[in-house]
């Protein structure tokens, strides 16, 4: 089941194999069961599907792409907060100068 959650359905690329009910997803589920029964590791199974469909088959990207996927939202939030604080400070200074305080 873990492997079925790690792969996208290759027929439409919108759902995980575990949730999708297409013929392609059913075939992948069967293949995964056979591979696990044959003693294949998770890495071997993932490598098989990456070779067959490309990295697009993975629900979460691997390597540097995974790093950026998890870091970028926090970086954008941080830099957006810094920018907002600087703009508010600038507006306050401008408004104080305009009012003569």
For the cut 70, the answer to whether the pLDDT of residue 7 exceeds it is: yes
72 lies in the same domain as 55:
no
Please count the other Cβ atoms lying within 10 Å of the Cβ belonging to residue 4. 17
Cβ within 8 Å of residue 25, ≥6 positions away: 9, 11, 17
What CATH number is associated with residue 47?
Answer: 1.10.8.640
Paired tokens of 37: 């029964």
Does 44 have pLDDT greater than 80?
yes
How big is the CA angle at 55 (ends 51 and 61), to the nearest 5 degrees?
A: 140
Q: What percent of the chain has pLDDT over 90?
A: 53
Q: Are residues 73 and 47 in the same domain?
A: no
Name the pLDDT band for 83 (thresholds 50, 70, 90). very high
CA distances, 74 to each of 42, 77, 80, 81 (Å):
30, 5, 10, 10
How many folded domains does the chain comprise? 2
Q: Which domain holds residue 24?
A: 1-59
In which band, very low, low, confident or very high, does the pLDDT at 65 lie, cut at 50, 70 and 90? low
Question: To the nearest 10°, the Cα dihedral for 27, 29, 34, 39?
Answer: 140
Indicate the pTM of the whole model: 0.60
62 pLDDT band, cuts 50/70/90, is: low
Same-domain check for residues 2 and 47: yes
Task: Identify whether residues 38 and 86 lie together within a single domain.
Answer: no
């Amino acid at each position: 089941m873990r492997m079925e959650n790690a792969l996208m359905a290759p027929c439409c690329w919108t759902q995980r194999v575990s949730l999708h009910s297409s013929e392609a997803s059913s075939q992948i589920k069967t293949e995964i069961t056979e591979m696990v029964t044959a003693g294949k590791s998770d890495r071997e199974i993932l490598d098989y599907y990456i070779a067959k469909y490309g990295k697009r088959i993975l629900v979460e990207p691997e390597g540097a792409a995974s790093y950026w996927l998890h870091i970028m939202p926090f970086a954008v939030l941080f830099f957006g907060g810094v920018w907002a604080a600087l703009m508010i400070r600038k507006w306050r200074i401008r408004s104080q100068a305009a009012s003569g305080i």
